[in-house]
Amino acid sequence: MIDLAEAIGLVEAAARPLGPRRVALASADGLRLAAAIAADGDSPPWDRAMMDGFAVRDADIVPDGVTELDVVVDLAAGDVTALPIPPGCCARIMTGAPLPAGADAVVPVECALDGTAGTHAGGRVRLRDGRYRAGQHVARRGTAFRRGQVVLPEGTVLSPAAIGLAVEAGATHVVVAAPPRVAILATGSELVPPDSIPAHGQTRNSNGPMIAAAVRAAGGEAVALGSVGDRPEAIRAAVAMGLAADILVLSGGVSAGDLDLVPEAFAACGVAEVFHKVRMKPGKPVWFGRRARGDGQTLVFGLPGNPASSLVCFELFVRPALAILRGLAPRHWHLPRVRGVLSAAARGAGDRPVYAPCRVHASGTGYAVEPLAWSGSSDLVGLAVAEGLMVLPAGSGTLPAGTEVDVVIRTGDGG
Ligand code: AMP
Ligand code: MG
């Protein structure tokens, strides 16, 4: 058993920032580009009609009068023609179609006179456009961007518009600073899925969704692996699968009971133990190790199964590991701490520091710390409404109201 500060130091020493990752553009929204995106072509890729109407030659237009033209081809979006438009002729064209050679401008269909608006190839159209300008209603090739041009520089956060632009520029995959992947696996033969009614002796897997939520709140991507029973082969198989992630978090099976098969499974899967058991309450049985993977590694946490222990251990050990993998500065590795004064007595625990749920109120120039009812490591009721974890030092017995204590403030993602 080691001290908490030493254990946290070992986690910090083991964790390394992840490099950028190549991910599918379709799942990259909200992420920051670690490499610029350059266009694979011009945009528009050709001179594009921007109105429904008739593609005309500027030279044919009679200013302030009626222009009569032969329609030689019909062009819907997607249609192309290799034939140039001869003088005195035009194409019937729809928005989005490439302007045919020879044509310079589009006269909107609304400008067709004498019922000629519906004229197709082979017919004759009569046009009067009082506001005609040379080159009108055409988006010229390359006016948005050119082939090879950087359209999204490194550092851009992929907004919906940026995703659209990246697709237009030909990107299918992008290099981004992606959130660490955290696989979450609950162990215990008593566990049933969160959406089922437990029979006598069964327990809903509440740690799975709870840890997944904590992972996301700390800026990670949660990969839920569900739960496995207390069978060595089953745990080993699930651990092997979870080792593909950047961090693997198990819950249950790390204390001293007969069925504490998790450390065994870790060993069988080549995970090297860094520590097992930390002087703290709740969370004493917590396990931490690492396994090499490619040119990186997987950090592996075995959190105790009791839900309050699991969550406290997540906040103290997994959260800093995630922050370091994300590349955050040290001031973002841990939840903030403040000093406060107990507004009621609180009971410590012999040889171990206690992390217990509390509320925190501003009081004068400091903070008042109000202990919440808490029956121990299986009790989430106080934690669910807690604003912090008060730290009752080892060997402190009962601390009277008025005692100064540290409080770990539970907040958002700390980064
Ligand atoms: P363990 O750490 O496996 O000895 O489990 C300690 C306690 O936590 C037992 O009462 C378990 O039923 C409970 N527990 C273990 N895993 C979970 C879980 N995923 N969700 C809720 N309770 C759990
Ligand atoms: Mg168990």
Per-residue pLDDT 10s for the chain (415 aa) are: 999 999 999 999 999 999 899 999 999 999 999 999 999 999 999 999 999 999 999 999 999 999 999 999 999 999 999 999 999 999 999 999 999 999 999 999 999 999 999 999 999 999 999 999 999 999 999 999 999 999 999 999 999 999 999 999 999 999 999 899 999 999 999 999 999 999 999 999 999 999 999 999 999 999 999 999 999 999 999 999 999 999 999 999 998 876 779 999 999 999 999 999 999 999 999 999 999 999 899 999 999 999 999 999 999 999 999 999 999 999 999 999 999 999 999 999 888 999 999 999 999 999 999 999 999 999 999 999 999 999 999 998 999 999 999 999 986 433 3
Of 184, 185, 187, 191, best ligand 1 pocket probe by most atoms within 8 Å of the beta carbon? 191
**CA–CA dist 297, 322 (Å, integer):** 13
Phi and psi at 266, nearest 5°, equal: -60, -50
Q: Give the DSSP H/E element, type plus range, for residue 325.
A: helix 319-325
Place of tokens 């520590």: 275
Residue 307 CA, ligand 1 centroid: distance in Å: 7
Residue 302 CA, ligand 1 centroid: distance in Å: 12
Written as six digits, the tokens of 298 are 């997987």
Which residues pair with residue 399 across a beta bridge? Answer: 346
Task: Spell out the domains of the chain, with CATH numbers in brackets.
Answer: 2-18+181-332 (3.40.980.10), 21-43+144-177 (3.90.105.10), 48-139 (2.170.190.11), 337-409 (2.40.340.10)
Task: Render 295-306 in DSSP notation, one character per residue.
Answer: TEEEEEEEE-SS
Of 207, 255, 276, 277, best ligand 1 pocket probe by most atoms within 8 Å of the beta carbon? 207
**CA–CA dist 237, 253 (Å, integer):** 15
Q: Which ligand is nearest to the CA of 201?
A: 1
Amino acid making up residue 374: W
**CA–CA dist 354, 348 (Å, integer):** 6
Q: Which ligand is nearest to the CA of 282?
A: 1
Cβ–Cβ under 8 Å, residues 245 and 223: yes
Q: Report which protein residue has its CA nearest ligand 1's atom 15.
A: 305
**CA–CA dist 298, 182 (Å, integer):** 9
Q: What pLDDT shows up at residue 212? A: 98
Amino acid making up residue 383: L
Question: Cα angle at 302 between 300 and 306, to 5 degrees?
Answer: 150
3-state secondary structure of 101: coil
Ligand 1 atom closest to Cα of 257? 4
**CA–CA dist 44, 50 (Å, integer):** 11
| Rg from Cα positions in the chain | 33
Pairing of strands 124-127, 67-75: antiparallel
Q: Give the DSSP H/E element, type plus range, for residue 356.
A: strand 354-363
Q: What pLDDT shows up at residue 414? A: 37
**CA–CA dist 205, 310 (Å, integer):** 12
The b/e string for 323-353 (b: 16+ C-beta within 10 A; e otherwise) is bbbbebeeebbbbeeeebebbeebebbeebb
Ligand 1 atom closest to Cα of 190? 12
Q: Report which protein residue has its CA nearest ligand 1's atom 11.
A: 305
> How many Cα atoms occupy the beta-carbon half-sphere of 165 within 13 Å?
19
Q: What pLDDT shows up at residue 396? A: 87
Written as six digits, the tokens of 303 are 């959190």
Ligand 1 atom closest to Cα of 227? 19
Lining ligand 1 with CB less than 6 A are: 186, 188, 190-191, 203, 205-208, 251-253, 255, 257, 304-307
**CA–CA dist 405, 237 (Å, integer):** 44
Residue 151 CA, ligand 2 centroid: distance in Å: 53
3-state secondary structure of 58: helix
Q: Between the CA of residue 85 and those of 48, 60, 74, 81, 330, what are the distances in Å?
A: 15, 11, 12, 10, 67
Cβ–Cβ under 8 Å, residues 96 and 116: no
Whose CA is closest to 413, among 177, 215, 217?
217
Q: What pLDDT shows up at residue 411? A: 62
Place of tokens 């207390």: 230
- Burial level of 204, CB count in 10 A (0-12/13-18/19+)? middle
3-state secondary structure of 347: strand
Of 187, 192, 251, best ligand 1 pocket probe by most atoms within 8 Å of the beta carbon? 251
Q: What length is written for the chain?
A: 415
Cβ–Cβ under 8 Å, residues 17 and 293: no
Q: Which ligand is nearest to the CA of 226?
A: 1
**CA–CA dist 214, 219 (Å, integer):** 9
Entry pTM: 0.81
Cβ–Cβ under 8 Å, residues 280 and 352: yes
Written as six digits, the tokens of 288 are 């931490």
